[in-house]
Amino acid sequence: MEYPQILDQVRAQVADVVGGGRVADYIPALAAVDPGQFGMAVATVDGAVYGTGDWRVPLSVQSVTKVFSLALVLHADGEAIWRRVSREPSGNPFNSLLQLEQDRGIPRNPFVNAGALVVTDRLLTLTGDARGAVRDFLRAEGGRPGGEPGGLAGVGPSIDFDLKVAASEAEHGHRNAALAHLLASYGNLENPVADVLEHYTWQCSLVMTCEELAMAGRFLARHGTAADGSRLLSRSDAKRLNATMLTCGTYDSAGEFAYRVGLPAKSGVGGAILAVVPNRCAIAVWGPGLDASGNSVAGLAALDAFTTLTGWSVF
């Protein structure tokens, strides 16, 4: 079966759940997003890209960017980040203060908010511009070298920050601020709290399409090889990043996600999920309605259908 036919079948199978769940209304700029949208794109390791639905509509990728910031830190700094962040699944919400305090300032994994703050902090030290480093990497891998600023309204083709989302998250990001101050109290931040929060918030506000997101994630299906053929990560580091996505990438329902889908994945509260089929492709799916854990209802259903139709998983 060819990719276009697979994607058409997936879209038909999930039609009943598209629009289900609840948008991330605790971020006012995301509360206005139409929950009835659905897009899915597949970027193969040999360079082809296929899509269905709203796969070229710009969306707020939110926590999916944590994959790329971690990859950049691993590329520049090797294993050092793992002295500051653990790699264990979290049974608590992604913004839990209680878990961070119980673990004495060492975040449970790099994909909960506390862990991502530590990764952003290290990237800021390494580059001087963490948010810009992530944006530039996504542009290079996602096939958009520049252009007019993008946005949720679909203005312009390029991968860029959404000013309204960034401002909305900064205004309502009290729990992230609390996490950052708690990290600093344990000596687990190198830079001022305000600087780390600014770069983290802007990074989460990045806007791109499913097409671009799938292309950007393709280096993980290629065992760490970037779009230009250079080696971003060693095969070992790419394997470890994929493994961390599998066990920790979908908040406190990673077990359920692994059970149903069987692929490394990272979700975001904008409704996007990036999944990886090693040696084959990267998949980006988007449905703004979220379940109780913060994962896209339609996205999870689509990836479940995709792996069932293809028989592809890491197991």
Catalytic residue numbers? 63, 66, 200, 251, 269
301 neighbors 9 (Cβ within 8 angstroms): no
Pair of tokens at residue 110: 């790099």
260 neighbors 297 (Cβ within 8 angstroms): no
Rounded Cα distance between 144 and 171, Å, is 29
Rounded Cα distance between 67 and 52, Å, is 24
Cα Rg of the chain, angstroms: 18
